[in-house]
A and B are shown apart, each in its own frame.
Chain A
Amino acid sequence: MMKNDGMVAVRDLVVQRGTVRAIRGLSFTAPAGQVTGLLGPSGCGKSTLMRAIVGVQVVTSGTVEVLGLPAGDKRLRDRVGYVTQAPSVYDDLTVAENLRFFARVLGAAPTEVDRCIEAVDLSQARDQVVARLSGGQRSRVSLAVALLGSPELLVLDEPTVGLDPVLRRDLWAMFHRLAATGAGLLVSSHVMDEAERCDRLLLMREGELLADDTPAALLERTSTPDVESAFLSLVERASRETVA
Chain B
Amino acid sequence: MNARITLAIASRVLIQLRRDRRTLVMLLVLPCLILTLLWWMFEGGGGTGHGFDALGPPLLALIPFVVMFLVTSVTTLRERSSGTLERLLSMPTGKGDFLGGYAIAFGIVAAVQSTLAVALCHWVLDLQVSGQVWMLVVVAVVDAVLGTALGLFVSAFAQTEFQAVQFMPALVIPQMLLCGLFVPRDAMPRVLEVLSDVLPLSYAVDAMSGVVTATGDGFGGVGGEVWSDVTVVLAFTLAGLALGAATLRRRTP
Contacts and interface: CB of A to CB of B under 8 A. Distances in A.
A124 to B, nearest CB: 20
A165 interface: no
Contact of B16 (A74, A84, A92, A102): A92
Contacts of B192: none
A105 B84 contact: no
B4 interface: yes
Given A90-B12, A97-B15, A84 B86 contact: yes
A88 B8 CA distance: 17
Nearest to B92: A77
Contact of B86 (A18, A56, A80): A56
Contacts of B89: 56
B19 interface: yes
B251 interface: yes
Contacts, number: 76
Interface string A78-121: 10101010111111110001000110111100000000000000
B93 interface: yes
A101 B92 contact: no
Interface of A: 17-18, 54-58, 72, 74, 77-78, 80, 82, 84, 86-93, 97, 101-102, 104-107, 129, 145
B86 A88 contact: yes
Q: Which of A72, A90, A105 lies at the interface centre, i.e. has the most chain B CB atoms within 10 A of its CB?
A: A105
B243 interface: no
Contact of A92 (B8, B20, B86, B91): B20
Given A82-B90, A88-B83, A91-B82, A17 B19 contact: no
B4 A104 contact: yes
A156 B253 CA distance: 20
Contact of A102 (B4, B15, B19, B91): B91
Contact of A77 (B86, B91, B253): B91
Interface residues of B, number: 24
Interface string B1-42: 000110011001001100110000000000000000000000
14 contacts: A17-B253, A55-B250, A56-B89, A56-B90, A56-B252, A57-B253, A77-B92, A88-B86, A88-B87, A101-B12, A104-B4, A105-B93, A106-B91, A145-B87
Contact of B91 (A17, A57, A78, A87): A78
The 8 A-B residue pairs whose C-beta atoms are closest, nearest first, are: A88-B83, A104-B8, A88-B87, A77-B92, A101-B12, A58-B253, A58-B251, A88-B84
Interface of B: 4-5, 8-9, 12, 15-16, 19-20, 82-84, 86-93, 250-253
Given A56-B90, A93-B12, A101-B12, A107 B84 contact: no
Q: Which of A101, A106, A129, A145 lies at the interface centre, i.e. has the most chain B CB atoms within 10 A of its CB?
A: A101
A64 to B, nearest CB: 12
Given A55-B250, A105-B91, A107-B92, 9 more contacts: A80-B90, A87-B83, A90-B12, A90-B84, A92-B16, A102-B91, A105-B5, A105-B9, A105-B93
A101 B89 CA distance: 14
A197 to B, nearest CB: 26
A146 to B, nearest CB: 9
A167 B87 CA distance: 25
Nearest to B97: A105
A84 B83 contact: yes
A93 B251 contact: no
Nearest to A60: B253
A58 B250 CA distance: 9
A18 B89 CA distance: 23
Contact of B15 (A55, A77, A93, A105): A93
Nearest to B9: A105
A106 B84 CA distance: 14
